[in-house]
Amino acid sequence: MLDTHARKYVEPFIYKSAATLSGWGLTANQVTVIGFGIGVSAGVFVYFEYTYLALITLWLSGFLDAVDGAIARQTQTSPWGTLLDIIFDRLVELGIIIGLAFRFPDAMWALLLLTASIVMSMTVFLTVGALTEKSGMKSFYYQAGLAERSETFILFSFMIVLTDLLVFFTLLFFFMILITAGQRVIEAKRIL
């Protein structure tokens, strides 16, 4: 939701950063890989209770995830770059979930529900993207929803910082993703 409605406010900073990194000779795919490396370290920091490092690396990876797309759109998008982006995004999310699950085994059941909801929602998202001929500024059809990337990072941040409420925020996130999947199925029925 925030990605869809608030992007216009942060987009100038994203494109300025994209121009800077591109000027340094970095390609979109190189920024994707760098963001991935930074992002997966967040899960390790979560496990070892380096809360602030976990938050910084999580959000930096998310920022680079936006910047790599801006570089691609300024130069040339590619199916390979899109594939890397989607895979690496899920691996960063899994890294956070795994870090939390090993650190808080009593909350593992809620984290498994969250993982299942992410798999279901991404299945709908990717299937609709593959089946539709619509496209937007990305190289595939992007379905907006209640829980997009920004909401994911906000909720992961709450889960990392407010560990006494880990199960609450995990279940809140789970239900937000279920709602998002439902929104996407309803939209898919309409456009397909």
CA distances from 138 to 57, 60, 68, 74 (A): 24, 21, 11, 12
Per-chain mean pLDDT for the chain = 90
Whether the per-residue pLDDT at 71 is higher than 70: the answer is: yes
Residues 6+ apart with CB under 8 A from 11: 70
Whether the per-residue pLDDT at 184 is higher than 90: the answer is: no
Cα dihedral angle (37, 38, 42, 47), rounded to 10 degrees?
Answer: 50
Split at pLDDT 50, 70, 90, the class of 127 is: confident
Say if residues 70 and 21 touch (Cβ distance below 8 Å).
Answer: no
Where do the H-state alpha helices sit in 24-165? 28-47, 51-74, 79-103, 108-131, 149-161
More confident residue, 183 or 95: 95
Say if residues 176 and 155 touch (Cβ distance below 8 Å).
Answer: yes
Question: What is the CATH number assigned to the segment(s) 2-191?
Answer: 1.20.120.1760
Span 98-112, average pLDDT: 98
- Residues 18-67 pLDDT 10s: 999 999 999 999 999 999 999 999 999 999 999 999 999 999 999 999 99
Whether the per-residue pLDDT at 101 is higher than 70: the answer is: yes
Split at pLDDT 50, 70, 90, the class of 135 is: low
Whether the per-residue pLDDT at 134 is higher than 70: the answer is: no
Confidence at residue 166, expressed as pLDDT on a 0 to 100 scale: 98
